[in-house]
Structure formats: C-alpha cells, structure tokens
Structure 1
Amino acid sequence: MRSVWKVVLRDLRTFLIGPDPPVRPRTRLGRSLPTIGVVVAILCGLASYEYLRGNGPHVGSLFLALDAALIVAPIGLVATRPLLAWRVAWLVAVYTYLAVDIDQGTPWPWSPVQMLSYPVLLAVVAVRHRRGVLVWVGLSATLLVVGTVRSQNIAGLLLAVTAILVIGDQVRRRREVQAALAQEEERTELAQARRAVAEERNRIAREMHDVVAHHMSLIAVRAETAVYRIDGVPPAVAEELAAIAGTSREALVEMRRLLGVLRSTETPLVEPQPVLDDLTRLVHDAREAGVDVTFDPLPGATVPPAVGLAAFRIAQEALSNARRHAAGAPVHIALTLGPSALDLSVRNTAGDPSSGAPSGAGSGDAGDAGDAGGERHGLLGMRERATAIGGTFEAGPDAAGGYTVHATLPLEVTP
C-alpha cells in the first residue's frame, strides 16, 4: 500500500511541477514543429483578439490583447512542453471564466481557439506521458468542465476528454511496444553477428592450430635434432640451428596465445605486451638473423604503452618485409621523441638486383600479392596500428631507390 501511494504522489508531483520528457525528432517536419507552433499561435492570437473584441465591447483593448496572448500561449508550447502547455491552458481557462465577461451566446465559456486547442493539448500530453500522470490530467480536465460548463453539456465533454486520453494512451503504449520490438530485433541481430564472428574466429583458430602450428612444431623439432641426425655439423651451423629452434618455440608460444585470444572473447590478455625498450631486443634478433640493422634508440624515454606497442609492431613488420624482399640491404631504424609525438622511421636501401626480389621494407606485400591475394596485409596492419591511436602512417619508395616506412604516433592516445 505504501508503494502505491508513493507512485500516486510521484505522478501528482510530475503533473504539478514535473518536466516534460525530452523530444528528439528524427524528421525535418518534427524539428520544425516548435516553429510551426509559434506561427500558429501568433495567427490564433490575432483571431482571438478580434473575436474577444467583437464579443466583449465593454472590455478595454489592452485587457483583450493580454487575454488573447494568454489563450494562445499553450499552442506555442505544445510541441516541446505539452504538460506545461496544459497547465497554462487550464489556468487561462479558469481566468477567462472568472475575469472576462464575454457575451458569445455559446453553451461553454471559452473562445473557439480554446475549444480547438484543448483537445490537441490533451492528445499530445496523453502520447508523451505515462498513465499515472494522465489520471491527474483527466481529473483536472473534469474539474474544469464541471466547474465552468452548463450541466446539460458536462457528460458529452467528459466523454470526449476520456476518449482523447484513452486513445492517446494507447498510441503511446503502441509506440513503446514498437520501440521495444525494434530494440529486441537489434539485440538479436547483434547476437547473431557476434555468434558469426565467434564461429569464424574458432574456424581460423582451428586452421592455425591444425596447419600452421603443426608445421612450426616440425621446424622446431627438425632444427633441434639436426645436429644428432647429421654427422659433422659445423659449430656455427649447430648454433644457427639452435637459434632457429628457439625462434620456432617462441613463435609457437605466440601462436598458442593468439589461439587462446581467438577462441575466447572474454578472457583478458594477461601476458605483457612489447614496449618501446623492446625494440633493442628486436634489432638484436634481426642482426642475429643476418640483417644489417642500425638503430638509434631512445634510452630512458617514456611513452604510453599503446604508443610503444604500436612502434614495436610497425618496426617488426617493416624488418620482416625487409628480410624477405630486400635481402642483404642495410636497414636503418630511427626514433625521434617530440613534445607531442613519437616519430618512427624504418628505411632500407635498394635490394640486391641479382636476387630478383623487390626492394623495400614495406613492398613485401606487393611482392606477395600472389600469395596474399593482393590484400597487402602488412601495410594495412601497420597503418591500422598507427591510426588506431590517432597517428599517421606513410610507406613508399624513396629517391635513392630504397623504401621508407614512417609513422607519427601521438603521445596523447585518442580512443
């Protein structure tokens, strides 16, 4: 019982001083309704003034002009503030009945503009507000009718008021149901899209596990056992095979981590991600693999983790492309830390013409167009890394015949 009274008092408070719900029109006509309401109110105000002056000869012109303005004020408010418009209209109706002596010879004490505007006000309030508020609106309209209209017309007007409020309430409920159905359909479509993405991720994970991981395991095993299966392996070759085996095992660990991410969209990534200082290790590994790399590090530089990760991955991909498609060409990696951004440049000179390989740290994707279906995944990946944090990315041949990858990564990462 206490909760019922609480709801009743809440609705009464809304009816008396509560705000109207915000309106967010989606069409040009909906956005124009407030302006149209003001124009209609001005025209109705002129008509009301002429009507009052013709039916109230003993009333001053200024008084009639003020009364006409009050009568049409709710019309200008109904598009955006219907409940406030009804409050104003109700008070004006009482004022007109008590203070304005109009001899119009009709069974109701209101002007034609009021009689035409009141049903519109009630209908808009019924469409915009919940049922509890409509009860109080209906009671206020009933009080107005009973207190000001002749007894033989009360029943008909109350029936009209009830019909308007009921129809408006049904319209509101229908709109709410349609909105709920639209939201449910949107949630269903979103769930289907997520399910399709999860199925595709699982399919990719299965393919990577069954094919790529299998071959990586074979590479690691063959590299580790080669010194035992082949007689007379030189120490330098044995050391290189051990390095290949170690790199293969690291690739398998990364592969398993990636498979876990693909199979579960809820499991957070807990393993540490590379940062800017890890570029030194990346350059060391590239030198061990035979790449002539020069690197200008930034010892002690502090950048956001997202910036460091992006710089590491872009340099990693650029070095990988240089190894594949500009074999033997020197590569230079330069970092420049400015007040608002980190500049990364990876440049290699022209590759060995006798090898037939295209030159360029970023041109490897073009060379792999037959294998990658022309998707240029490497360049796209580097560009996405940079733009994801609000940076810029450029890659292309330079005047010396080499290839340059340049990225500018802002220190204030944008989402």
Structure 2
Amino acid sequence: MLVALGFFALGTVIYLLDLDLVFGGDDQPTPLWARLAVLAVGCLGTLFRRALPGLGLALALGAVLLDLTRGLGIPVVMVFIDVLFVVSLDGPRRLHRALIGIVAVATLGLTLTVGVLSTDWRESLYAGLQMFSLVVVPVWWATNVRQHRESARQLARIAELDRRAAVNAERTRMARDLHDVVAGHLSAIAIQSEAVLSMPADSATVRTVLKSVRENSLRSLAEMRTMIDVLRADDPVDEPVTVRLADASRLVESARAGGLAVEFEADDVDGLPVAVDLAAYRILQEALTNALKHGADASVRVERQVRRLVLVVRNAVRTAGDGSGTGLVSMAERAHAVGGTFAAGRDGAQWVVRAELPL
C-alpha cells in the first residue's frame, strides 16, 4: 500500500510538472484526471504484485497499453518496471520462466518490426534499446537475484545436512566413549569387589579397595549422565572432555587397588591436542582394564616426543583372553581416528599395547 501510494504521489507531481512523456507526443492533451486514472490502474497492480502476481502484472501491463495511446509516460513506466521486477523475483517459477521467454520475444519482435517498417536502421536500434531497458533489464536483474537466493538456500540446506551428519557422527563417537568409560569402571569395580571378598574383614586394604570402588562408581555414573544428556540433545554441542591424560595416575591407582602391580612413568603431557589427549586416556584405560582381567605386573610408559606421543603398556600374561575383542578394536579406532598407529600382541611372556599418536 505504501509503495502504491508513493508511486501515485510521485506520478502526480511529474504530471503537474509536464515531465511525464518518455516517447511519443500528446497532440491532443489528455486531461489530468485521465492520466491519473491510468496511473491508478498501474498502482493497483502494485498492490497485487506479491499476493496475485499474475493479476498485478496484467493491471500494470494494461496501464502501459492505455498510456501508449497518448505517449508513454514516466510514472506508468516506473510502476510497470517495479511490478515486472517483483513478479519475476518472487512469482511462481512457471510464471518467471514464461516472462523470460515473453520479454525476449517481444524485444526481438519489436526491433525487427521497426526495422522492417522504417527505412532508418537507427530507429530499429533505438526501439530495441528502449524495450531492453523497460522489460529485459528488470527481468534479467530479478533472475540474477533469484538465482543467488536459490543458491544461498541450497548452500544453507547442504550446510544443515553436513551439520546433522557431523552431529550424528559425534554422537556415535560419544556413545563409544560411554561404552569405554562405563565398561572400564565397572570392570574395575567387579575385580576390586572380588578382591575384597578374599581379604580379612578388618584389613586396612579393604577400606582402600572400597574407596576405589566408590570413586569408580561415582565417576562412572557422572560420565554416563553427561554423555546421555549429550546424546539426547537436539542441537550440536561440544564433546564434554571430562578426562585427560594428565589424570592417568587415577587409572593407575585404581588398577593397583584392584591388585595389579603397576609401574608408571610419564613425561609432561600438559597442552596436548584435545583429541590426542582423550584418545590416549581411553587407550590407557582399556589397556589397564585388560591387564586386570588377564594379566599381572603391568608397566606403563608415556613418552612425549617432538611430533608424537608414544604410549606403551606391558603386562605379564596370566590367562588366555576370552573376551569379545571389542576392547582392542576400540583402542585401534581411537588411535586411527587421530591419525596415529596402534599395535597389540604377545611379546614373549608379555602382552604389549603400543599406540603412537601425532602431535
């Protein structure tokens, strides 16, 4: 409504100043009310250019054809160009494609017609340029803007799909973390509880083991609650890194409380990349859990070199492994996920786990 009123007011001023004719002549001056009536028809098309683009374009075109009977005026041209641009930009796709063909045929047809009927080729060129500026330019401009909009929507859709895929992949990794964390803690609890049952009731070691069992239980519950909250979330969130390789001493103390003799030696591991830090912690956790189940007298060596972090866990083999093998697969996947290497196997009477992670 405001655009229509603005065009009508501006057109009225132009008519009053006699600055309206684009081309043609008005040998018999048209009354002002008639010119304003034609302009009103065009402005009425402005009202329907978005809601009913076909009707709006028909009204604007009708105003142009009526105005041509006296010589085309600037106010009607402005209204027609505005309606043509908006309809081409926001109208139905089928109407937009039809407009492209119509304006191309109309421009070429008028140019050729004037060229045939006129003896001066310059008149044909002039008519073609006028049609180009009046109808081709608005449709061309609207087509470019429309294509940019569609491209932006497609890119936004692709970005959304990529985001969802990244979220799903991240949640899958977090689910694997959930398995590793809870399985490690519960395995330690089971082994430590079994050790308590074989000790005298008044032994001081019993309190130490029960304290470790309690800490493992609370830590397992806390990490499970955090991970489940993340897995249930609808929006992408950062992975909650609740453990670091700098806290590896807790794993060692928990293993010792379960009856495993562990020699632990580690370089300074502060400032590691987050992915490497988390991967190394989980690999060490799984390796110590396996040592508690099947081994004895373990040793842990964490060496920080210039371009890589080397983690080696050795333990004497006590029993043959009867697990599902998911622990080794998990450790290997974590090492490979950060671009590192992983190896595990017997070395004489020892079982050796070795992971090299890039820094």
TM-score relative to the length of structure 1: 0.42
TM-score relative to the length of structure 2: 0.47
